[in-house]
Amino acid sequence: MQAEFGAPSLVFNNAGVGGAGGLVWEATQKDWEWVLGVNVLGVVHGVRLFTPMMLAAAQDDPSFEGHIVNTASMAGMLSPPNMGVYNVSKHAVVTLSETLYQDLSLVTEQVHAHVLCPYFVPTGISQSQRNRPAELANESAQLTKSQLIAQAMSDKAVGSGKVSAAQVAAMVFDALRENRFYIFSHPHALGPVKTRLEDVLAVRNPTDAFEGRPEVAAQLRAALRTA
């Protein structure tokens, strides 16, 4: 491929699945292997394959400019409850991307890293189980109460998204033109990120994820605390 087309100038590491929701201790080893295998290692493989190609092209051509965009999620900036496996995978993509940015800055000014953190975008991600490999399927297809709730909440949230994938793509290209590292599809959703960072800096316990919607927190707790 490289011999025929040369090094890519734009790389989008976009693989992602959204399954395995529910209370974090209820996720199986296969849940973890599936989600981390796609969401984390999918990006890792892209970084390992394409970064050396782009660096070699930059060394050969002073006019070459490359961009690597890793798709994470707002879940990579937050830690909402009942979706721990997904959160872990997307936090990993954020820190991988931040490290890639720092590493690239040590060796070149021609290849740049970015991380995309979408909020709720109407895609098929809430139905990711349809693409789960048979060898990573759980022995039992029965879901726990928390997993059923997580699936219902994911379906509703993703389905209610008002920003399309095409609009997000346009935002990405705007960010590349500005060489902006963090790319957010919904800047208005950054309030909880600010709160989380303030929690860290103040060394205080994490703020309730549903602080602004106490009725949702009450419903969720009631559902999970009943036998």
Domain-embedded: residue 16: yes
Residues with catalytic function: 86
Domain-embedded: residue 225: no
Domain-embedded: residue 194: no
Domain-embedded: residue 204: no
Pairing of strands 10-13, 66-71: parallel
Q: Tell me the three state secondary structure of residue 70.
A: strand
**By residue range, what is the domain housing residue 27?**
2-187
Q: Give the phi and the psi of residue 25 in degrees, each rounded to 5.
A: -80, -10
pLDDT of residue 159: 78
184 Cβ neighbours under 8 A, 6+ residues apart? 74, 117, 118, 119, 190
What does the H/E/C string look like for 118-147? CCCCCCCHHHHHHHCCHHHCCCCCCCCHHH
Write out the chain's pLDDT in tens, 227 residues: 677 778 999 999 997 898 789 999 999 999 999 999 999 999 999 999 999 999 999 999 999 999 999 999 999 999 999 999 999 999 999 999 999 999 999 999 999 999 999 998 878 777 888 888 899 999 888 899 999 888 888 888 777 778 899 999 999 999 999 999 999 999 888 999 999 999 999 999 999 999 888 898 899 999 999 86
User: Which residue, among 136, 157, 192, 193, has the nearest Cα to 20 in the 3D structure?
Assistant: 136
Domain-embedded: residue 155: yes
Determine contact, residues 56/34, Cβ cutoff 8 Å.
no
Domain-embedded: residue 199: no
pLDDT of residue 155: 82
Count structural domains, the chain: 1
What would the two tokens of residue 206 be? 């994490």
* CB-side neighbour CA atoms (13 Å) of 178: 10
pLDDT of residue 227: 61
pLDDT of residue 124: 73
CATH number at 29 reads 3.40.50.720
Cα–Cα distance for residue pair 31/48, rounded to 1 Å: 24
